[in-house]
Amino acid sequence: MVEELFAELQNLKQVEAIALGGSRSQQNYDENSDYDVYVYIKSPISENVRREILGKYCSYMEIGNHYWEYEDNCVLKNGKDIDIIYRNLDDFCECVSEVVEKYQAQNGYTTCLWHNLINSVIIYDDDKRLEQAQKRFSVPYPEHLKYNIIKRNYNLLCDSMASYKNQIEKAHKRDDKVSLIHRTTAFLESYFDIIFALNSLTHPGEKRLIKLCTQQCKILPADFEANLNKLFEDLPQNMDSLMEDVEVILKALSDILDNQE
């Protein structure tokens, strides 16, 4: 079914490449994993054309969502979710270049687009431009980028007035549970960005992060998994221990960063 859908999409004159990303492109997917399909286009494909094609293979369709990238979010007739994301290859490569070639760090998830590009499986590539893009960015992890990611995100964690640690503490004092959860989530985004950068690994996205870190990262803070699980246990039930959990996580992170200098 999916292969037939790919065949119809690649016959459209606007389409120059198709790639399969996410867990389905790797070996760590399961029966519940959805399909992340990236369609690189030279010009827009009308919603009517997309709806007609997708209607042959999908039992449910949301056409033209734009919450993150421009995409169609659907359910295949076999019950599996499929997200079809439409991109301009040149624009996408410029975003990846900002990180890989210009060393621009972000607030968490810095290298996710880079990871997506070099780890996607190419299904169709009319002029081999997607293959060329993969080769362009299949480079060793830049040391300058690693430094920038760690510096920016460590400052966000605890080393500035605007740090997540300070924001979590203020939210706790206000008994503002919504803000507390929101700031803790942001804390974890920067924390994992540092972990992957420290190991010179591209960031795989938001899913299965603890498992992937324990499997792939040679450098991890002491009691990495146990400290995170303690944080998760205390977050909804024991707010008074939350700041202590944050301090323990930061101390373990600081120790391994000091050891790398």
**Rounded CA separation 214/204 (Å):** 14
* Strand-pair partners of 74: 61, 82
Q: Which of 102, 137, 172 is the last residue of a domain?
A: 137
Among 246, 241, 192, 199, CA closest to 219: 199
Which pLDDT tens digit goes with each residue over 195-214? 999 999 999 998 899 999 99
Q: Are strands 58-65 and 71-76 parallel, antiparallel or unpaired?
A: antiparallel
Do 118 and 55 share a domain, yes or no?
yes
| Residue 241 · residue 179 · CB < 8 Å | no
Paired tokens of 140: 């060793």
Do 116 and 151 share a domain, yes or no?
no
Instruction: Return the pLDDT at 238.
Output: 79
When mean pLDDT is compared across 20-29, 92-101, 161-170, the lowest value belongs to 20-29
Do 193 and 86 share a domain, yes or no?
no
Specify the number of domains making up the chain.
2
Domain hosting residue 198, numbered range: 143-260
| Residue 168 · residue 178 · CB < 8 Å | no
Q: Which of 86, 117, 137 is the last residue of a domain?
A: 137
Q: Grade residue 235 by pLDDT with cuts at 50, 70 and 90.
A: confident
Which pLDDT tens digit goes with each residue over 17-72? 999 987 665 665 556 678 999 999 999 999 999 999 999 999 999 999 999 999 99
Is pLDDT at 119 greater than 90 in this prediction?
yes
Do 234 and 191 share a domain, yes or no?
yes
Which pLDDT tens digit goes with each residue over 176-199? 889 999 999 999 999 999 999 999
Neighbour count for residue 143 (Cβ, 10 Å): 10
Q: Which of 114, 137, 160 is the last residue of a domain?
A: 137
Strands laid side by side in the 71-76 sheet: 58-65, 71-76, 81-87, 35-41, 15-21, 121-125
| Residue 96 · residue 117 · CB < 8 Å | yes
Q: What is the 3-state secondary structure (H, E, C) of 59-73?
A: EEEEEEECCCCCEEE
Q: What's the CATH code of the domain at 51?
A: 3.30.460.10
